[in-house]
Amino acid sequence: MFEVLGGMWISGCVKTAAELNIADLLAESPKTISLLAKETQSDEKALYRIMRALSSVGIFKELENKIFEMNDLAAALQTDVPGTVKDFVLANMGEHFLGFGELTRTVKEGKVPFEYVYGMNLWEYYKQYPKLAANFGRGMTGLSNMELQGIIENYDFKPYKTIVDIGGGNGVMMHRILNSAPESSGIVFDEAHVIEKTVELIPENLKNRCLTATGSFFDKVPAGADLYTMKWIIHDWNDDECIRILKVCYEAMPKGSKLLIIDAVIPDDSRNQPHLAKLLDIVMMACLTGRERSLDEFIQLIEQAGLRFNRLIDIGTQSKSIVECEKI
């Protein structure tokens, strides 16, 4: 049980390392704790205790004479590198953190802990605090970068002339898709305040093939595309909300068009077995009305929206799979 609680204690140390940019400072070469303390304007003894604890669980490595160096796990705390989890750590240990202490509210009262703590839902909160929203967006991009290669390697986008990414955010996934499918064009669809930044981030070589569109996926999405994608969208919402979103997609899709739901999928036969999706589900419980789902649960949503489930595609990570469905 101490080891379980230790996960929370270490998370606090990870947050400190992220806030102080320790991984960035060690990216080039090892440094003494005294130099790290100087560069971060920190108390040397206190910082050493943090770094000692992190090194004890394999995050950074302590050498002789209180010298610390980077390792593979610590590298994930660097700023603006592919696969970084730094911003996701800061969001989870920042504004999300209090919700994990109020999970009983969900179990007993059906309340979303985040809403209980802050008096508003997550999306309203981020509209009120745009700097935290920007950090959360970077966190999602960091996680996305870890998985995009698996998506591209395991799904052939070339047959589709027009592709729409629903809730596509900054457009990173669409950029990767279009680079893998040189004859395709794409539309990144999201709310107007998101798309303002998305437009600026379209690479020069894709400007003639990557467009943007604004709106709410609860009301309307661009119609007539050959393929629609939604990555980490469905898990944010409860079943009724998901069916509403999927029905909007159904209305926009021509017959034969496909929809890819890219989300974590809890294995149906995983009783008593560890799986990342089971833990991500607790993040959903703490912060939103949504949840992670099993394949059977996805199929139920898909069929209630009038779509047909085609197949489940493994992309090599427990945090995401591709659920392919089609309008027939």
Q: Please tell me whether residue 314 adopts helix, strand or coil conformation.
A: strand
CA distances from 139 to 89, 122, 129, 244, 265 (A): 8, 15, 15, 27, 21
- Which DSSP string corresponds to 220-239? ----S-SEEEEES-GGGS-H
Cα separation, 186 vs 208, whole angstroms: 10
Cα separation, 182 vs 116, whole angstroms: 47
Taking the C-alpha atoms of 88, 216, 147 and 236 in order, what is their torsion angle to the nearest 10 degrees? 60
Which residue shows structure tokens 């996960």? 7
- Which DSSP string corresponds to 237-294? S-HHHHHHHHHHHHHHPPTT-EEEEEE-EE-TT-TT---HHHHHHHHHHHHSS---EE
235 is catalytic: yes
Q: Which two tokens stand for residue 46?
A: 């206190």
CB neighbours (10 Å) of residue 196? Answer: 12
Over the Cα atoms of the chain, what is R_g? 21
Active-site residue, selected from the candidate residues 96, 175, 193, 235: 235
Closest-CA residue to 287 (of 145, 88, 84): 88
Residues with a known catalytic role: 235
